Amino acid sequence: MRVLLIRPPARHTVESEVPEAVEAENLSYPPLALLSLAAFLRDQSHHVCDILDAQLDHLSNEEMEQQIRDFAPDVVGITCFTVQLVDVMHSIRAARRAGVQYVVLGGPHINDFPKESLALEGVDAVVKGEGQQPLLELLKVWEAGEVAKGIKGVIAHPDDPIPEEDVYFSNDLDSYPIIDRTLVDYTRYYDVMGEGGIFTTMVTSRGCPYRCTFCNTPRHRYRVQSPERVCDELEACINLGIREIYFVDDTFNITNQRVHDLCDEIIRRGLKFSWTVRFRVKGVDRPLLLKMKEAGCARIQLGVEQGTEEGLLRLKKDVTSREIEQAFQLCREVGINTVAYFMIGTPVERTRQDVLDTIEYSIRLKPDFVMYNILTPFPGTTLYDEGVRDGVLDLQPWINFMENPTEEFKAQVWDEHFTRDELRDLLHFAYRRFYWRPQFVVRNLFQIRNVSDFTRKAKAGLRLLVS
């Protein structure tokens, strides 16, 4: 069978409002999940599989439909995020207009809303959990002209049982084939905070054992790739000319020993590249940072979210403000850049001054970059359940959106203490307060490496100034 995997465009996301400048710089990263699926299908079957990244190419519905026609797939698989549900529907309709026989959905949204997703017009099946093996078995059944019943992880009929947990997991991540990044135009992905070289992302683990109340990442079955398997993929990337890599594991440093082992293998093989990683503050220490620096780590992203003990406890961050401050200090001393993530409009921010205190705390940490976001409790998170229970959030708008995605829908914010407009104004103020500081401007001017680097960062700065 001919299989086309689609990442929908991102023209109608329902995330909270952010400054136009920040929105413009939320650049598309490679569709890792689809690349992994394609690699698996090519390795384990005879099916012809390709990828259409409509987000990267900013395709209109008509352009997307034409490209689907050109490939002439029997099956279209669409990755589905809740914030892109409107664009998912446009993709489904484009596939149907192009004459596709089967449409299957997968992705994070399906894990939380499998029945609602299956009920969307034009959907033949959904895959809950990791999709490699379930999709392979689903294709086998469809190719034989049989009814899709009893496939682990697949829901194809309204009366199919919905498991309590994601039903398919691989406990051996090393067994998956290495991703073929040439299935997409890999040279077009880049990071505005990076060095301007060819850029990609990688995943070296799956799952997260922690319980932050605003996150809906599956908290069970944390699994990792071996350092050897990770470095094999790194070598494949380097052979393509890729020199900047962002490890997008939900939490890279579940254990420090795993990070040490990986750095040792990178150093042993002599791999030369610059890398960014998502870290928890808990566990950051000098020996680990020094080893990471030696292995090429240039930047660490740290989810701070709040600067008060009350806020950290409410979000279940399992860290103290003192540990946060120490982590940023250590990164500065070692020479690794930092990106701090903060939320505005959390339940513990009851007054404007509370939010301003959060902003000032972000400055005192002296990160190289900061990302602020308005807290948006999504269904499937503990915080969302608490908001519904306490009457702060209304379940019905989300139910309506799941059943009938519309462009007019706006995700709910935590509006117990602030209106949406007030939060938007505070968010704009936060970005201006941090990025307009002379210290920030001067420091980054001295860090610019070349004309291309200057052009990218100047454009981002100008957008911020006028937003």
Reported as a pLDDT band with limits 50, 70 and 90, residue 326 is very high
- Of 375, 389, 371, the closest CA to residue 315 belongs to 375
Pairing label, strands 154-155, 199-202: unpaired
Same fold, 2-155 and 190-356+372-376+413-417: no
Helix axes of 256-269 and 286-294: crossing angle, nearest 10 degrees: 30
Q: Residue 464 pLDDT more than 50? A: no
- Which tens digit of pLDDT belongs to each residue from 228-275? 999 999 999 999 999 999 999 988 998 999 999 999 999 999 999 999
Q: Which of 10-14, 65-69, 72-76, 441-445 has the lowest mean pLDDT?
A: 441-445
Q: What CATH topology corresponds to 190-356+372-376+413-417?
A: TIM Barrel (3.20.20)
- Please report, for residues 318, 324, 384, 387, 388, the alpha-carbon distance to residue 313 in angstroms, rounded to integers and kept in the order given: 7, 14, 16, 16, 20
Q: Mean pLDDT highest for which of 80-84, 235-239, 303-307, 387-391?
A: 235-239
Mean pLDDT along residues 32-59: 94
List of E strands, 150-195? 154-155
What does the domain layout of the chain look like in residue ranges? 2-155, 190-356+372-376+413-417
- Which tens digit of pLDDT belongs to each residue from 93-144? 999 999 999 999 999 899 888 999 999 999 999 998 889 999 999 999 999 9
pTM given for the model: 0.89
Q: Mean pLDDT highest for which of 32-36, 111-115, 154-158, 455-459?
A: 32-36
What pLDDT score does 465 carry? 44
Residues 6 or more apart in contact with residue 20 via CB below 8 angstroms: 463, 467
What pLDDT score does 379 carry? 87
Q: Residue 181 pLDDT more than 80? A: yes
Q: Which two tokens stand for residue 178?
A: 């290495």
Mean pLDDT along residues 215-236: 86
Tell me 85's DSSP state.
H
What pLDDT score does 380 carry? 83
Q: Residue 21 pLDDT more than 50? A: no
What pLDDT score does 71 carry? 97
Any idea of the CA torsion for 404, 410, 414, 419, to the nearest 10 degrees? -140
The enclosing H or E element of 141 equals helix 132-143
Domain 2-155 top-level CATH class: alpha beta
Residue type, 157: H
What pLDDT score does 444 carry? 65
DSSP string, 442-464: HHHHHH--SHHHHHHHHHHHHHH
Residues 6 or more apart in contact with residue 444 via CB below 8 angstroms: 457
Residue 106: beta bridge partners? 79
